[in-house]
Amino acid sequence: REAAEQLRLSRVAAGVLRGLATNPFMLSVVAGFGYNTLHLLAVGAPPALLPRALDELTAVLGASFPACVVLLAGMGSVGSFSQLLQLEAFATPALAVILKCFVFPVLVRVYTHLLGRLSVGAPPETLGFAFLYGVLPTSNVALVIASSYALAPALLGTVAATLTLSKLVGFPMLFFASAAYQLSSQAGALAVATKLANVFHGVTISSCAFVLVGGGLAGAWRPPLGERYRWVGVLAALQLCWSVCMLGASAERIRGAASHSEAKALFALVSALRWTVD
């Protein structure tokens, strides 16, 4: 039994090595490394350009590669959203995305920090760049690589679903991580948070006003609203008052014109409205 297990593992290892030896990406890396090494040994400096014939060939192949990636990504993404809706098929992409978008950036930052101790004069922005680089969603090139191994359609669909979910999670996380690294101080973070809160309060005021106006005109051009929708109108009115008070409190704080008693009264009003809405 142990001999059979060792034979199976050796076959798996041989298959992996055979796949790496015939992988065009690995072959291109090895060829480039060999060419640079030979040129460095012969001339004493790395080559600035490839030979003309080879440069034109690689330019043609490189120009066609993005179109091939988009085509294969579109073919592989068909049905990926429906596969994500299946609970048993959602576990594997979700675990992979958690590892890629949350665990991997932290590990990259820690590893870069450890390497930074060994180097002298490393800029502090390197840690932020390493974290943001780790947050970047996985490229669709992974689907091209997976397609070259003639995987089963179900497994290829899992890869496509993972790439789709990775972009849905990775791009918003990249946006917020970039914004966080752009802030130089805690005061800047609070200022950005205040501006975002004011924007959301403005959207809330517009939405609640739309609900109240629609409810007020209901009897004129459609049947009157039921009891449940009347409660929705009450909640919309309370939320509207709370958002208006929050914008007023933010304006008074920025202007700094409110006295201590006025600030306490405004805080009591906002707290009472928030408690009523909740």
Same-domain check for residues 156 and 219:
no
Condensed to tens digits (0 to 9), the pLDDT of residues 172-182 reads 888 777 777 76
Per-residue pLDDT, averaged over 200-220, amounts to: 75
Same-domain check for residues 200 and 132:
no
Domain termination site, one of 124, 157, 182: 182
Instruction: Note whether residue 139 is domain-resident.
Output: yes
Domain termination site, one of 182, 197, 228: 182
Q: Given this model, what pLDDT does residue 78 score? A: 55
Same-domain check for residues 176 and 85:
yes
- Confidence at 266, pLDDT banded by 50, 70, 90: low
Work out the mean pLDDT of the chain and round it to a whole number. 73
Distance CA 2, CA 8 (A): 10
Q: What range defines the domain where residue 92 resides?
A: 74-182
Count the neighbouring beta carbons within 10 Å of the beta carbon of residue 73: 20
Instruction: Note whether residue 59 is domain-resident.
Output: no
Q: Given this model, what pLDDT does residue 86 score? A: 59
Distance CA 71, CA 77 (A): 10
Same-domain check for residues 250 and 192:
yes
Token pair belonging to 228: 């449940």
pLDDT at residue 79 tops 60: no
Q: Given this model, what pLDDT does residue 49 score? A: 77
Instruction: Note whether residue 9 is domain-resident.
Output: no
Q: 61-72 in b/e burial notation, b at 16+ Cβ within 10 A? A: eeeeeeeebeeb
Count the neighbouring beta carbons within 10 Å of the beta carbon of residue 205: 18
Q: Which pTM does this prediction carry?
A: 0.47
Same-domain check for residues 190 and 176:
no
Secondary structure (3-state) at 49: coil
3-state secondary structure 93-117: HHHHHHHHHHHHHHHHHHHHHHHHH
Distance CA 83, CA 140 (A): 18
Count of domains forming the chain: 2
Same-domain check for residues 173 and 85:
yes
Whether the Cβ atoms of residue 242 and residue 270 lie closer than 8 Å to each other: yes
Instruction: Note whether residue 26 is domain-resident.
Output: no
* Residue appearing with tokens 């849905």: 168
**Closest C-alpha among 244, 235, 165 to residue 201:** 244
Same-domain check for residues 192 and 261:
yes
Task: Tell me the torsion sign for CA atoms 195, 201, 204, 206.
Answer: negative
Instruction: Note whether residue 55 is domain-resident.
Output: no
Token pair belonging to 48: 């600035």
Q: Given this model, what pLDDT does residue 17 score? A: 80
DSSP annotation of 183 reads: -
Instruction: Note whether residue 104 is domain-resident.
Output: yes
Domain termination site, one of 153, 182, 211: 182
DSSP annotation of 193 reads: H
pLDDT at residue 75 tops 70: no
